[in-house]
Every structure is written in C-alpha cells, then in structure tokens.
Amino acid sequence: MQAKWAIITGATAGIGWATAEELAHAGYSLILIGRRADRLKELRDTLIRKVAHQTREQEFKSIAIDITKKSELDDFIQSEGPTINKVSVLVNNAGLAKGTDKFQDAKVSDWDQMLDTNVKGLIFLTRGVLPYMIKRKAGHIVNIGSVAGRWVYPGGAVYCASKFAVRALSEGMRMDLAGTGIRVTNIEPGMVNTEFSLVRFGDSEKASQVYSGMTPLGAKDIAETILWCLQRPQHVNIQELVIYPTDQAAIGQVVRRP
C-alpha cells in the first residue's frame, strides 16, 4: 500500500517532533520542516531507525526553511511540487511566544516574529499546499492554536491575538473549503512542557518555573490527539479541541503542589 504523505512544520522539537513520530508509526511518509538542519537530520535518522521495519514505501524528507520568509516557502512549493501533490495532511505546528511585557512596554521585534511565524507563515504555506489538495479532492489541515486563542491574559496581548487569528483562519478555511472534501481542525492546548517557555523567556530557570509543582501536558499528548483527528472517518471533521492538563482549570488557574 502506498504511504500517505504529511507535512509538519516546526518539526525540530516539541509537538512537531512528537507528531512526526506518531504519524511515522501510523504509516505516513513525511516532509519535515524547520529552521535547524541538524535537528531535522536527527529526527529523520530517528524515524528511519524506528519504522524501517514497517514498509519500504515510507519516505522522510527534511527541509530546512524559515517559514517567516515567504520567498523560502515559495521556493519550497515550487521545488517540491511532485511530492506536495501526494500530501493529504498539513500540520501547521510552527509557532512561538516572545516576551511577557505589557503591551506598552513590549518589543516590536517580538511582535513581528510572533505574527510572521504564527500567522503569516501558516497562511502562506497553507495557501501554497491547498491547490494540490483541492485538485485531489481530499486533505486535512491541522492548525496548532492555543487556549490563548480563546482567553487573553496580561502580558500576552499580541501572542493571544496571533492565536485568535489561527482560530479565525481555521473557521474561515473550513467555510471556504466546504464541498472540497478537505477537513480543517484547530487544536488548542493549554500548558505543554516543550521549548515553548524557554523561547518565550530566554531563560531556562524561568522556563522551568512555569511547570513547577504541577503536571503539564506533554508533546506526545498533543501528537496522539492530532493522529486521532486524522483517523476519524472522512465524513467526520473535528472542528476544534481545547486540551488542558488536569492541573490547569483555566488560563491563570493552575494547581501547584509543594
């Protein structure tokens, strides 16, 4: 049986890496996208080693590009057209938060990075891939949003705005793609222990304190959820899922133990 193909952005760590492992074990061939070429190679080698026994039909391509640069995305779409033509799943996972300063004190450069990655990168890559899916009359777009796309908190205005945008884009895509056979899912996690906090704070000690005294979600928890959504029958579209760890009742309400 010919392998199914999926594209995963932000594949070099966290949810992206875990999703690559889950989909590989489920039989998918993968195009792995990220900025760190060394990490992509490590992931590709890991997948080959772990699933080599399953089937010779599976392939794993690692492509180091920065999705904030539209020119690199355009080159990717053009050069990988024959492979993208086989893709049935796009997981828009790449995203980040930068800083926790109040709006009036925040760095504009942080805003640019968040909006370019979380919103514009998602838009441009999805726009490039969709014509191939529409032609095949099948596909599944999975956007990794956040509970911050529903509930705002102090010091997170622009990050929250970027994830509100992901939610709006997911709903708008679903409407515009009605009748094409393409499904759209928005996954909205709460606290997940990945590189997220390290990137946000730029300090490993501060990042570790975020999860102190509580049990957060793991990247694998989200990856397994993504695979579950993909495996629903074609007539079933999981529109959106909010996923909190049990120790987090809401943004800003976390149970912590000594």
Q: What amino acid positions are annotated as catalytic residues?
A: 159
CA–CA separation, 77 and 18 (whole Å): 24
Alpha carbons within 13 angstroms on the beta-carbon side of residue 168 total 9
Phi, psi dihedral angles at 106 (to 5 degrees): -75, 160
Q: Which of 60, 68, 56 is nearest to 42 (CA)?
A: 60
**Counting every residue, how long is the chain?**
258
Longest C-alpha distance within the chain, in Å?
56
Q: Which of 100, 77, 205 is nearest to 153 (CA)?
A: 100
* Helix or strand (DSSP H, E) at 44: helix 37-51
* Contact (CB, 8 A) for 99 and 69: no
In order of 34, 51, 83, the CA distances from 45 in angstroms are: 15, 10, 20
CA–CA separation, 223 and 109 (whole Å): 30
